[in-house]
Amino acid sequence: MGLILAFVRVLSLTLLLVWFADAGANNGYRVFNVKKFGAVSDGKTENSKAFLKAWTEACRWHGRAMVLIPKGVYILDSVLFLGECKGYMAFILKGVLKPKRSLQTCDQWITFRYIKGFLLGGGGTLDGEGYKYWNRSDCLRNHNCHPLAIVSSRFPYRLSRAIQSSYSELGFHPT
């Protein structure tokens, strides 16, 4: 009996330490991995529904929630990530997001709206395939050009302070 009790105590302590280590690794966030919601990172499959399912569940979480996009190439159609969320939200992109179709045929590709306490980071890539449009822009030669913006000033919540890093090539940068 004493041996069983000792084993249960050691097992309980081990599980508790694993739980604390996991919570520390995610900085106290509950992780909502898009792959667990059906996303496929093959560069061919359209993943908007899986991303929206992960976002919706994360947005309902009372606490710190992280939508995690692991390494890989994900295809997305035009998608709207909508708040108001119950807690602090992080959108952590480790992979590459590409549009399903030409961005000329849609008004917006990826939109975050009505979100307070938001972080966009992870070091991944939003590849809008801009090289297809570079020959249509004179921003490299025209210093009076108004560059494209990641964030629209139409939003009631400014997101630019929440972007961890940005890449400024050919006049494309957060505003």
- DSSP per-residue string spanning 23-85: HHHTTTPEEEEGGGGT---EEEEE-HHHHHHHHHHHHH-SS-EEEEE-SSEEEE-SEEEE---
- Domain spans of the chain, in order of start: 40-162
Residue 28 CB burial class (10 angstroms; 0-12, 13-18, ≥19): exposed
Look at residue 106 in the predicted model and tell me its pLDDT.
Answer: 62
Look at residue 75 in the predicted model and tell me its pLDDT.
Answer: 95
pTM for the model: 0.67
CA distance 137 to 146: 10
Look at residue 139 in the predicted model and tell me its pLDDT.
Answer: 66
Look at residue 101 in the predicted model and tell me its pLDDT.
Answer: 72
Look at residue 70 in the predicted model and tell me its pLDDT.
Answer: 97
Check if the beta carbon of residue 94 is closer than 8 Å to that of residue 120: no
Q: Which two tokens stand for residue 158?
A: 């400014």
Lookup result for tokens 């159609």? 77
Query: What are the pLDDT tens digits along the chain (175 aa)?
Result: 666 766 656 656 565 555 544 444 567 889 999 999 999 999 999 999 999 999 999 999 999 999 999 999 999 988 999 988 999 999 999 999 998 876 556 667 888 888 888 888 999 998 877 776 666 666 667 777 655 545 443 444 444 444 444 443 433 434 3
Nearest to 117, CA basis, from 64, 170, 46:
64
Q: If you ran DSSP here, which 8-state letter would residue 9 be given? A: H
Look at residue 93 in the predicted model and tell me its pLDDT.
Answer: 94
Q: If you ran DSSP here, which 8-state letter would residue 120 be given? A: E
Check if the beta carbon of residue 173 is closer than 8 Å to that of residue 134: no
